[in-house]
Amino acid sequence: MQKSANKNLNWDDLRFFLEVARAGTASAASRRLSVDYTTVARRIRSLEESLGALLFDKSRSNGFTLTVDGQHLVRHADTMEAAMAAAMAEVSGTGSALSGHVRIGCTEAFGTYFVAPHMVEFQDRYPNISIDILPVPHFVNLSRREADIAITLERPARGPYISSKLCDYRLKLYATPEYLAQHPTITCIEDLTQHRFINYVNELAFSAQLLYLDELVPGAQSTLRSTSALAQYHAVLQGRALAILPCFIADTDPRLVPVLNEELSITRQFWLSYSEDLRRLKRVTEVAQHLVLAAQANNSLLMGSS
């Protein structure tokens, strides 16, 4: 396609372009935009014609893949979108008038047991801010705007992100009282060789930070494994094996007790990150600040000392 800018750019076309770039397919973008596929395709063609450039390589197998020109444009369109949102937030004011949408990507257990209830509390203060919580057993991609805020086990190694440690949290070994009564007594780490464990599927773990069983109990026997922390939690409640779980889950459940409480524990961190482009959006910074304050206020729960 020959480059020629023969008519003014339509911001709405850029908005459609960003959604396709982030979603990877026109059909996925159409669902996110609540329009039909043909509308998305038409908007992309219109933008390409306006710019005189091919923005996507399109195929049935790979969907919509950004071309070099598309990669250049997405950086500028991201900046334009953030600037527009920041301007709208500034004009609309603060406090209860603050509005908009924030999407939070986080690990499955933390998102379910910590982020979700605290975001309900957040909306008591900001009822006009809608929140999406994505508690998924994998990392979300900030660069593709799968989320505005990401809470991860590791700090992003690179990229235009504002990142800070949200909190430390502790994990311990847990079992049901029934399990402990029916199996060999555990008085030291060596006794654990006689017991079975529920564990992660090592080769499918999305972070090395999750492979703590091998670190704490080398050679542990695991006959039931799952990529889901919540699946492990529900499995250990059946009283047939041990599992290492976050204290913020297990300590709130009277059906579980810690095993070798003093000897066996491990500390990990959660990191909170968002794109530098979003630092001017008050709704994003307010959500981030609320999570920081909630983590500080609940340190004893997170560290298993409540």
Among 271, 284, 285, 300, smallest CA distance to 140 is for 271
Same fold, 11-89 and 95-306: no
Beta bridge partners of 87: none
In CATH, what class is 11-89?
A: mainly alpha
Name the residue ranges covered by the structural domains of the chain. 11-89, 95-306
pTM, to two decimals: 0.73
Q: What is the 3-state secondary structure (H, E, C) of 140-185?
A: CCCCCCCCCEEEECCCCCCCCEEEEEEEEEEEEEEECHHHHHHCCC
Phi and psi dihedrals of 70, rounded to 5?
-65, -40
pLDDT tens digits for range 88-118: 666 655 444 588 889 999 999 999 999 999 9
Has domain 95-306 been given CATH number 3.40.50.20?
no
The per-residue pLDDT for 203 is 87
The per-residue pLDDT for 121 is 94
pLDDT tens digits for range 117-149: 999 999 999 999 999 999 886 677 777 778 899
Measured between alpha carbons, how far is residue 207 from residues 142, 225, 227, 249 in Å?
Answer: 17, 16, 11, 20
What 68-75 contacts at long range (C-beta under 8 Å, 24+ apart), as own/partner pairs, is 70/17, 70/21, 73/17, 74/17, 74/18, 74/21
Counting Cα atoms < 13 Å in the Cβ hemisphere of 25 gives 10
CA 2/CA 49 separation, integer angstroms = 9
pLDDT tens digits for range 233-266: 999 999 999 999 999 999 999 999 999 998 999 9
